[in-house]
């Protein structure tokens, strides 16, 4: 690992002396649709452009080949091994390399789905380099099986931690805008509306707490990413005036939602790394998060937040009740969360991506 870091350092020095790159991003979503992928892409393209590189971003369903040819990309950076699989053909056609960020459901779901596994595996194996946010990107059922067949994948993968978010908050009064009372105790769930985000889970679990304390409110913010699931979600919250779906707020508006809530919750069934958890920690909010591997990197029980096991749903109710009843405990864990994430952020994130691109180009 030390040798690998030395090589990256040497390449980084060489890269600083080289010309700028044209980098084509292919991602399942981009702004104004707010998802972890779209926010990551915005942060990376902003940082890369500040260093003199040019970027072009397409979602797979909106790719324009003529525009790409005019752009003349040097390299492709794809997010998600299944949804952005068109990167394979485009890279082959242009005779350029592509790197792939493993973004969560590609390895947690698609590699295990017989209808998607072959194409996902093909995208992973043909990438010049793989990127994950943390070690759970390699240590999971799907990737473990693939690495067993192709052990060289480990050497082709870099872990690049996320950098500090761009917090360009729109300043407004969250509670006033969405008609919450000052004494309302708001649990905020920020996530796209789709099954893997488990948006339905907190509804019935927090209902008991609301019955005990009528000022308990539950607010959802997120883009509609699965229409069938959204219909189920609408049915589940109708006639429940203590629950609000606030819609797919612009990212700059979400910061005020964090600021205005009392507790942030995450119920995901799987994640590469939850940006919602990271942002809530950054905003110094107490957090309840599902005890999945990527969440437990951040949520240390009783220090930076509270965990709930998906197999023991009552955990969520118990954690929510604990936070409701103990303001000093909320404040202590919120401070612990903020301190942890500020130490975790990667100040060299953009330079590390530059080095990955340089490595892929040198090897192509």
CA distance 69 to 277: 38
Q: Which residues pair with 218 in a beta bridge?
A: 187, 243
Percent of all residues in the chain with a pLDDT value above 90, rounded to a whole number: 88
Contact between 219 and 189 (Cβ < 8 Å): yes
Q: 38-63 burial, b for 16+ CB within 10 Å, e for fewer? A: bbbbbbbbebbeeeebbbbbbbbeee
CA distance 25 to 29: 11
Cα torsion through 326, 332, 335, 336, rounded to 10: -120
What tens-digit pLDDT sequence spans the chain (364 residues)? 555 555 555 555 555 545 799 999 999 999 999 999 999 999 999 999 999 999 999 999 999 999 999 999 999 999 999 999 999 999 999 999 999 999 999 999 999 999 999 999 999 999 999 999 998 888 888 999 999 999 999 889 999 999 999 877 678 999 999 999 999 999 999 999 999 999 999 999 999 999 999 999 999 999 999 999 999 999 999 999 999 999 999 999 999 999 999 999 999 999 989 999 999 999 999 999 999 999 999 999 999 999 999 999 999 999 999 999 999 999 999 999 999 999 999 999 999 999 999 999 998 8
SS3 49: helix
Contact between 304 and 332 (Cβ < 8 Å): no
Q: What is the pLDDT of residues 258-281, one digit of tens each?
A: 999 999 999 999 998 999 999 999
pTM: 0.89
CA within 13 Å, CB half, 143: 23
Task: Report pLDDT for 17.
Answer: 47
Residues sharing a CB contact under 8 Å with residue 356, sequence separation 6 or more, in sequence order:
99, 129, 131, 158, 160
Q: How many residues does the chain have?
A: 364
Architecture of domain 2-163+346-363 in this structure: 3-Layer(aba) Sandwich (3.40)
Task: Report pLDDT for 364.
Answer: 80
CA distance 289 to 315: 10
Peptide bond into 32 cis (omega under 30): yes
Radius of gyration of the chain (CA): 21
Smallest CA-to-CA distance from 251 within 140, 162, 151, 168 is with 168
Task: Report pLDDT for 170.
Answer: 73
Please tell me the CATH superfamily of domain 174-344, with its number. Glycogen Phosphorylase B; (3.40.50.2000)
SS3 15: helix
Task: Report pLDDT for 166.
Answer: 83
Residue ranges of the domains in the chain? 2-163+346-363, 174-344
Contact between 337 and 321 (Cβ < 8 Å): no
Burial of 347 (0-12, 13-18, 19+ CB in 10 A): exposed
Q: What is the pLDDT of residues 289-333, one digit of tens each?
A: 999 999 999 999 999 999 999 999 999 999 999 999 999 999 999
Smallest CA-to-CA distance from 80 within 42, 46, 114, 111 is with 111
Task: Report pLDDT for 300.
Answer: 97
Q: Do domains 2-163+346-363 and 174-344 have the same CATH topology?
A: yes
CA within 13 Å, CB half, 343: 9
């Amino acid at each position: 690992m030390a040798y690998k870091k030395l090589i990256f350092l040497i390449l980084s020095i060489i890269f600083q002396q080289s010309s700028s790159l044209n980098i084509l991003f292919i991602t399942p979503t981009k702004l104004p649709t707010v998802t972890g992928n779209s926010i990551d892409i915005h942060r990376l393209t902003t940082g890369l452009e500040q260093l003199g590189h040019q970027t072009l971003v397409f979602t797979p369903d909106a790719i324009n080949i003529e525009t790409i040819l005019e752009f003349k990309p040097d390299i492709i950076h794809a997010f998600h091994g299944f949804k952005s699989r068109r990167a394979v053909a485009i890279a082959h056609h242009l005779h350029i390399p592509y790197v792939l960020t493993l973004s969560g459901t590609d390895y947690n779901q698609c590699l295990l789905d017989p209808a998607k596994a072959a194409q996902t595996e093909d995208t992973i194996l043909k990438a010049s380099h793989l990127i994950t946010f943390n070690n759970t990107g390699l240590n999971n059922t799907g990737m473990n099986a693939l690495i067993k067949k192709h052990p060289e994948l480990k050497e082709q993968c870099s872990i690049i931690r996320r950098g500090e978010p761009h917090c360009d908050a729109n300043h407004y009064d969250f509670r006033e805008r969405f008609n919450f009372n000052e004494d309302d105790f708001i649990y905020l769930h920020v996530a796209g509306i789709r099954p893997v985000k488990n948006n339905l889970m907190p509804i019935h679990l927090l209902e008991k707490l609301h019955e005990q304390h009528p000022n308990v409110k539950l607010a959802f913010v997120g883009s509609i990413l699965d229409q069938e699931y959204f219909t189920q979600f609408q049915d589940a919250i109708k006639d429940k005036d203590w629950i609000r779906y606030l819609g797919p707020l612009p990212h700059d508006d979400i910061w005020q939602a964090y600021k205005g809530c009392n507790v942030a919750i995450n119920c995901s069934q799987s994640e590469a790394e939850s940006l919602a958890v990271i942002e809530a920690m950054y905003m110094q909010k107490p957090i309840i998060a599902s005890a999945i591997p990527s969440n437990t990197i951040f949520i240390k029980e009783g220090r930076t937040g509270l965990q709930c096991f998906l197999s023991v749903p009552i955990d969520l109710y118990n954690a929510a009740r604990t936070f409701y009843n103990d303001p000093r405990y909320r404040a202590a864990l919120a401070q612990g969360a903020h301190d942890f994430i500020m130490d975790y952020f990667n100040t060299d994130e953009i330079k590390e991506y530059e080095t990955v691109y340089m490595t892929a180009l040198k090897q192509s």
